[in-house]
């Protein structure tokens, strides 16, 4: 049954977020792929990906766009990131940097600010990532970013220890299939965690 919002005289349906993917990580995996094609076809253009208690002990945590099944986009990521906290509270070249689009600069969004996890078996990673397509579906033929992405989170990271990590940017590659999150190197693994991908429709189409 839909949620109805009323001012006492008139009422309208309130579209809440729809969960399109969720799960738990209970054994070692390098990455998790999320397919959002059905959501995009249905008009969803604003997503949040919540990662809770993710262990990424030996590699940095990364996010890719997927252009097709098992096909991550590995170039075209532009933006910046930072991580600071207990071990290093200054925003400098050691704790913040740019993403310049090239694969050599890291062809992915650097969720953990280019740093490995250093969890000490108790301080795992918790992140909320926002992924936004064009402002309105009528603008899909314009020169708009696909997708704009920003994130905020916390984890115990190498060097900065208990940390605030954040970043944002765009990827000019296609994201029509979905997303991938996991260890940047591909050979290291996540062994704990849970995730939830929630979609929202474009404003004005409720």
Spatial distance between the Cα atoms of 136 and 203, rounded to a whole number of angstroms: 8
- Residue with token string 């250093």: 118
The predicted pLDDT at position 44 comes to: 87
Spatial distance between the Cα atoms of 154 and 21, rounded to a whole number of angstroms: 22
Note whether residue 124 is domain-resident. Answer: yes
The predicted pLDDT at position 205 comes to: 46
Note whether residue 154 is domain-resident. Answer: yes
Note whether residue 188 is domain-resident. Answer: yes
Q: Which residues contact 187 (CB under 8 A, 6 or more apart)?
A: 30, 59
The predicted pLDDT at position 83 comes to: 95
Spatial distance between the Cα atoms of 151 and 113, rounded to a whole number of angstroms: 11
Q: ∠ CA 42-46-110 to the nearest 5 degrees?
A: 130
The predicted pLDDT at position 158 comes to: 94
Note whether residue 6 is domain-resident. Answer: no
Q: What's the number of domains the chain is made of?
A: 1
Note whether residue 12 is domain-resident. Answer: no
* 198, two tokens: 């929630």
Residue 172 in contact with residue 148, Cβ under 8 Å?
Answer: no
Short-list 115, 204, 205, 110, CA closest to 151 = 110
The predicted pLDDT at position 2 comes to: 46
The predicted pLDDT at position 138 comes to: 60
Strands 3-6 and 61-68: unpaired
pLDDT digits (tens, 9 = 90+) for 90-131: 888 888 999 988 777 779 999 999 999 998 878 999 999 999
Note whether residue 149 is domain-resident. Answer: yes
Q: Which residues contact 170 (CB under 8 A, 6 or more apart)?
A: 77, 78, 79, 145, 146, 147, 148, 149
Note whether residue 206 is domain-resident. Answer: no
Residue 110's domain spans which residues? 19-201
The predicted pLDDT at position 204 comes to: 45
The predicted pLDDT at position 127 comes to: 98
Give the chain's residues under pLDDT 50: 1-2, 4, 204-206
Spatial distance between the Cα atoms of 140 and 135, rounded to a whole number of angstroms: 9
Residue 107 in contact with residue 181, Cβ under 8 Å?
Answer: no
Note whether residue 122 is domain-resident. Answer: yes
């Amino acid at each position: 049954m839909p949620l109805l919002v009323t001012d006492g005289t008139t009422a309208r349906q309130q579209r809440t977020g729809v969960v399109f993917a969720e799960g738990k990580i209970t054994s070692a995996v390098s990455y998790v792929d999320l397919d959002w094609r059905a959501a995009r076809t249905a008009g969803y253009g604003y997503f949040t990906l919540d990662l809770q208690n993710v262990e990424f002990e030996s590699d940095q945590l990364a996010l890719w766009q997927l252009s097709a099944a098992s096909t991550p986009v590995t170039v075209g990521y532009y933006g910046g990131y930072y991580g600071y906290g207990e071990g290093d509270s200054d925003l400098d070249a050691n704790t913040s940097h740019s993403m310049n689009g090239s694969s050599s600069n890291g062809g992915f969004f650097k969720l953990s600010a280019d740093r490995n996890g250093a969890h000490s078996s108790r301080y795992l990673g918790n992140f909320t990532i926002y992924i936004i397509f064009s402002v309105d579906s009528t603008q899909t033929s314009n020169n708009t970013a696909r997708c704009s992405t920003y994130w905020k989170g916390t984890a115990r990271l190498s060097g900065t220890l208990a940390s605030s990590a954040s970043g944002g940017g765009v990827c000019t590659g296609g994201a029509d299939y979905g997303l991938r999150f996991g260890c940047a190197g591909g050979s290291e693994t996540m062994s704990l965690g849970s995730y939830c991908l929630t979609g929202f429709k474009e404003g004005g189409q409720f």
